[in-house]
Amino acid sequence: MEAQKKGGVTKVRQSKYRHLFGTPFQNTECILGLKVGAAQPESTVLKANATNFALIWNISGCVGVFPNSSKGAVLPDPPLIIHDETAVNEIAFNPFDDNMLATACNDGSVSLWKIPDGGLTENLTKPLKKIQASDKRLLIVDFHPLASDVLVTGDASKAIKLWDLESGQEKLTFPEHKGLVTNVSWNYDGSLCATACKDKTLRVIDPRSNSVVAEAPDHPGAKGARVCHLGKKELIFTVGFGKGSERQYALYDTRKNLQRVNLTPIDSSSSTLLPFYDGDLGLLYLAGKGDGNIRFYEVVENEDPFIFYLSEFKSKDPQAGIAVLPKKSCDVMKCEVLRAMKLTPSGSVVPIKIEVPRKENMFFQDDIFPDTFDLKPSMSSADWFSGANNAPKLVSLNPEKK
pLDDT tens column, 351-361? 999 999 888 77
What is the mean predicted confidence (pLDDT) over 367-393?
97
What is the mean predicted confidence (pLDDT) over 77-81?
97
What is the mean predicted confidence (pLDDT) over 9-38?
75
What is the mean predicted confidence (pLDDT) over 358-365?
84
Q: Is residue 67 part of a domain?
A: yes
Instruction: Give just the sign of the alpha carbon dihedral 252, 253, 258, 259.
Output: negative
Q: Is residue 219 part of a domain?
A: yes
> What is the four-CA torsion angle of 180, 238, 150, 191, rounded to 10 degrees?
-120
Residue 13: the pLDDT is 67
Q: Is residue 2 part of a domain?
A: no
pLDDT at 318 over 60: yes
Q: What is the largest CA-CA distance in the chain?
A: 60
Rounded Cα–Cα distance for residues 201 and 199 (Å): 6
Amino acid at 215: E
Pairing between β-strand 72-73 and β-strand 31-32 as defined by DSSP bridges: parallel
Output the domain CATH number for residue 297: 2.130.10.10
User: Which of 36-50, 111-125, 293-307, 360-374 has the highest average model confidence (pLDDT)?
Assistant: 111-125
| Confidence band, pLDDT 50/70/90 cuts, at residue 40 | confident
By C-alpha distance, which of 284, 313, 324 is closest to 300? 284
| Confidence band, pLDDT 50/70/90 cuts, at residue 7 | very low
| Confidence band, pLDDT 50/70/90 cuts, at residue 24 | confident
What is the mean predicted confidence (pLDDT) over 145-170?
96
pLDDT at 8 over 50: no
Rounded Cα–Cα distance for residues 206 and 192 (Å): 5
Residue 41: the pLDDT is 82
What is the mean predicted confidence (pLDDT) over 47-57?
97
- Asked whether the bond before 392 is cis by omega within 30 degrees of 0, the reply is no
Rounded Cα–Cα distance for residues 1 and 14 (Å): 5
Residues in the chain: 402
Could you give the angle at the alpha carbon of 162 between the alpha carbons of 157 and 164, nearest 5°? 140
Q: Who wins on pLDDT, 30 or 324?
A: 324
Rounded Cα–Cα distance for residues 103 and 83 (Å): 9
pLDDT at 1 over 90: no
Q: Is residue 4 part of a domain?
A: no
What is the mean predicted confidence (pLDDT) over 224-238?
96
Cross-strand bridge partners of residue 400: none
- Domain containing 229 equals 15-401
Q: Is residue 10 part of a domain?
A: no
Number of domains in the chain: 1
Task: Judge contact between 251 and 260, C-beta under 8 A.
Answer: yes
Rounded Cα–Cα distance for residues 395 and 401 (Å): 9
By C-alpha distance, which of 230, 309, 296 is closest to 264? 309
C-alpha neighbours within 13 Å on the C-beta side of residue 134:
24
Distances (CA, A) of 344 to 32, 33, 52, 60, 351: 10, 11, 17, 20, 11
Q: Is residue 5 part of a domain?
A: no
What is the mean predicted confidence (pLDDT) over 245-274?
95
Task: Give the pLDDT confidence of 91-141 residue by residue, as tens digits.
Answer: 999 999 999 999 999 999 999 999 999 999 999 999 999 999 999 999 999
- pLDDT above 70 coverage of the chain, percent: 96
pLDDT at 14 over 90: no
Q: Is residue 9 part of a domain?
A: no
Q: Is residue 54 part of a domain?
A: yes
pLDDT at 84 over 50: yes
| Confidence band, pLDDT 50/70/90 cuts, at residue 9 | very low
- pLDDT above 90 coverage of the chain, percent: 82
> What is the four-CA torsion angle of 366, 370, 375, 378, rounded to 10 degrees?
140
pLDDT at 316 over 50: yes
Average pLDDT, the chain: 92
